[in-house]
Each structure stands twice: as structure tokens, then as C-alpha cells.
A = this chain, B = another copy of it.
Amino acid sequence: MNRTAGELAQYLGANLAGVRDLRISGVARPSGARETDLIYVSSPRHVEEAAASAALCVMASPGVRISGKTIIEAAEPKLAFVKAAALLLEKPPRNISVHPTAVIAPDAHLAPDVCVGPYVVIESGAHIGAGSDLGAFSFVGRNSVIGDHCVLHPRVTIYPGARLGNRVEVHSGAVIGSDGFGYVFGEGRHWKFPQIGGVAIGDDVEIGANTTIDRGSLDTTLIANGVKIDNLVQLAHNVQVGEHSIIAAQTGISGSSVLGKGVVVAGQVGIADHCTLEDGAVAGAQAGIPTGKTIRRGQTVWGTPARPLDKFKEQHAWFARLPELARRIRDLEKAKTPE
């Protein structure tokens, strides 16, 4: 939706230097911007790029001035840009509709303003909250709950009994509530351990494309409020992820591991079963955290098996110098035995 620079400044509680009535219709990066796009400058290095941009309105730190540009001043220009973008990119009111091809159980509960795309299947006892949007081919299983203002992109599977909070966005191909992976071997075969627990997703969670989140075995898999999960992530049975944690693409978290609040897990990390990552812990890309391990509050780990970042760096520096160390040992040996 179109806004003026003044409206944006007011919305952000920010100071404006320039044309208050300037019309803003979108956001862009400086090099690709149109006149009516908002851009941002987060460091002095980028002022020049902004000056060369066609965009007329720039989010920048207090005091920054660029010739010919209207400046919205923000202590954290990138954050302010993102908040303004959320306002500018707000979707117009939807046409409320339930596509005639949707197969909806008579005893499913849909709030009156739910949008249901073509070929959606909603099973018996499911509950869809106000303002939610179910993309084409969504499958919402028996007795599952979708909160208010959720968005399921096309082709999301919600297994029976799964629960999503409010404002949850789930990307295409994600699967929530599939059976966990647990067997007991006996009498020459694998017997499946019961996978009958729940899966509960909090509010304001985003779940990436083709990500899989298993239901609990006898417990519940829990994803707290504000968690953001990238594409192709695997969360196993009974995993718990604390508020506002971030999990990057292709990471896997094994059964019963627990992540605290504000944990950051980079891409392709493997966290074995029964691990604990305390609040604010950080796992670097491709790190491997062995079974039962605890990563302390705020600690950053790297490598497989994961260890604190500075240890990793020191050890790896020596690893790279191994050929040299070997040579020095040889030299010492030669000096000792000159024959």
C-alpha cells in the first residue's frame, strides 16, 4: 500500500528531513530502485550507493544527509527499513472465499473469514482460526488446530492432531506432525516405537519449504513463539525449540534435544539426540553436536564434534600447519641422531 514519507516517519516515531508528502510505493536495494521505492543505508560505506540511486527516500542514521534525498532518521536503519517494508508490503484485504473444490469435513470448524484455496482437504474436527489462508493442496488432518492469521502456502501437510499458534507461516512442501523415527530391534525385525505424541507450534513461527517436523513419540514436539526455521530442516520427535531461536537450512535436530531461547543454529548443523543448547547458544555451519552434549548459555561452537569457537580456530590453525609441525619433529629427530 502506498504511503508518504511522513506517514512512514510517524509510524516509526522517526525524524524526517525532506519532503513529507513524498509518495513511497515499495522497497528496493539502491541499485535497482525506482523513484518511489524506499531504500536504506546502514553504514557510511553505502552512502554513495544511496546517493546514486533513483530512490528519493532513504532510511539512514540520524544526521546523515544526501543531496536530493528525503531522509528518515533511525538509530537502526535496517530495522526501521524492515518495519517500514512490512507496512508498505501489507497485502490488500483478501477476497474471502472457500474454493468449491475444497473437501471440508462437516465437523471441521472454520472461522468465517478463512480463505481456502483449490483442492484443500480439511479433515474432521480440524479448527482453522480467523483470517487464516490455506493454499492449494493444503492438507489439514483430523483434529488439528491452525490459529488465527496463519498462512499455509500451497501443498503443506498438517498431520492429525498438530497444533499451530497464530500468525504462523508455513512454506510449500513442509510436513508437520509426521511420525518420529524410533524402533526397537527384536526377534529379527524392527518394531516401531509408538509415535503418538503431539506437535505444538507457537505464535509468529515461520517454517521453510520442504521442512519436516515430527510429532512426539510419547511426548510433544514443541516449537515456541517467534522461532524461524529455514528450508529442508528436520526436527525429530520430542524436540523443543525455545522462543525466537533461528534454525538455518538443512539442519537436523535429533530426538529429544532441547534448544533454549534465542539460540542460533546455522546451516547443515547436526544436533544428535538428547542435547541441550542453552539460551543464546550459537552453532556454526555444519557443526556436529554429539549425543547428550550441553552447549552453555551464549557459547558459540563450531566443528564436528563441536567445540568452542576459539578452541576450534586454534586447533584448526595448527591442523593447517600439521605438515610444518611434522617437518619440525623430523628436524629435531635428525639433530638428536646425527648418524
Contacts and interface: CB of A to CB of B under 8 A. Distances in A.
A214 interface: yes
B157 A154 contact: yes
Contact of A318 (B29, B194, B322): B322
Interface string A113-154: 000011101000000000000011101010000000000011
B219 A32 contact: yes
Given A193-B82, A209-B212, A328 B333 contact: yes
B154 A231 contact: no
B154 A121 contact: yes
Number of copies of this protein chain within its complex: 3
Interface in A66-115: 76, 78-79, 82-83, 85-86, 89, 99, 101, 103
A326 B327 CA distance: 12
Contacts of A118: 103, 121
A211 to B, nearest CB: 8
A326 B323 contact: no
B173 A212 contact: yes
Interface in A237-270: 244, 246, 248-250, 252, 254, 267-268, 270
7 contacts: A99-B103, A157-B172, A159-B172, A173-B173, A249-B254, A315-B319, A325-B326
Interface of A: 26-29, 32, 76, 78-79, 82-83, 85-86, 89, 99, 101, 103, 117-119, 121, 135-137, 139, 141, 153-155, 157, 159, 171-173, 175, 178-179, 181, 183-194, 196, 204, 206, 208-210, 212, 214, 218-219, 226, 228, 230-232, 234, 236, 244, 246, 248-250, 252, 254, 267-268, 270, 272, 285-286, 288, 290, 303-305, 307, 311, 314-316, 318-323, 325-326, 328-329, 332-333, 335-336
